[in-house]
Amino acid sequence: MTQVLVLNASYEPLNVTSVRRAHVLVFKGKAEVLEELDQPLHSASDTYPWPHVIRLVHYVRVPRAVQRKISRRALFARDGWRCVYCGTASGRLTLDHVVPRSRGGDSVWENVVTSCAPCNHRKGDRLLEETSMTLRTPPRPPTPVLFIRLAADHVPDTWRQYLPGLDPAAAAA
């Protein structure tokens, strides 16, 4: 248990941090402990609650304009480790631009999807409307919860009530 879930003042999940950093935030009065572990945290002279979930005292504005960097791992996790075109979860997964870069498509979350290699090859440099292929789900920027899931070694049960939309199906892998 060396990771701590950090919530905004609004209870929106923000990120995952170390116990040490979380303790410093609490010690400085910048965060409160919402969930703690049974065992206390010992310093040379004192004991403190061992933070497990903390909440910032002051609301931190999260700039939505700043895009989270696209990684294959985050993309595949967003799409549940399945091809968005045919739904297969087996075989090699690839990153596909819905509007191909050669046709002016950008590398943004709204234009990249998880595709199995055969679907990616089949689609090639065509637009969707030039094929008979369809998207099972429209691509969107991933939620903060997804990045927390990826940053966490595992998601403890005590975190779950603070992580709305945590998809157990997509958590595998």
Spell out the SS3 assignment of 63-97. Answer: CCCCCCCCCHHHHHHHCCCCCCCCCCCCCCEEEEE
Binding site for Zn ion (CB under 5 A): 83, 85-86, 116, 119
Closer of 73 and 136 to Zn ion (Cβ): 136
Compare residues 118 and 144 and give the one whose CB is closer to Zn ion: 118
CB of 63 to Zn ion, least distance (A): 34
- CB nearer to Zn ion: give 5 or 116: 116
Residue 76 or 85 having the CB closest to Zn ion: 85
d(CA 34, CA 32): 6
Shortest Cβ distance from residue 99 to Zn ion (Å)? 18
Residue type, 114: T
Q: Which is nearer to Zn ion, 23 or 82 (CB)?
A: 82
Those residues whose C-beta lies under 8 Å from the C-beta of residue 153, and which sit 6 or more positions away, are 3
Give yes or no for a contact between 31 and 14, defined as CB atoms under 8 angstroms apart: no
Residue 6: CB atoms within 10 Å: 22
HSE-up of residue 104 (Cα within 13 Å, Cβ side): 1
How many CA atoms lie within 13 Å of 127's alpha carbon, on the beta-carbon side?
Answer: 5
d(CA 109, CA 65): 12
What is the closest distance, in whole angstroms, from the C-beta atom of residue 80 to Zn ion in the complex? 13
Q: How far is the CB of 129 from Zn ion (least distance, A)?
A: 18
Pick the closer one to Zn ion by CB: 137 or 161.
137
Query: Residue 96 CB, nearest distance to Zn ion (Å)?
Result: 9
| 45: DSSP letter | S
CB of 67 to Zn ion, least distance (A): 26
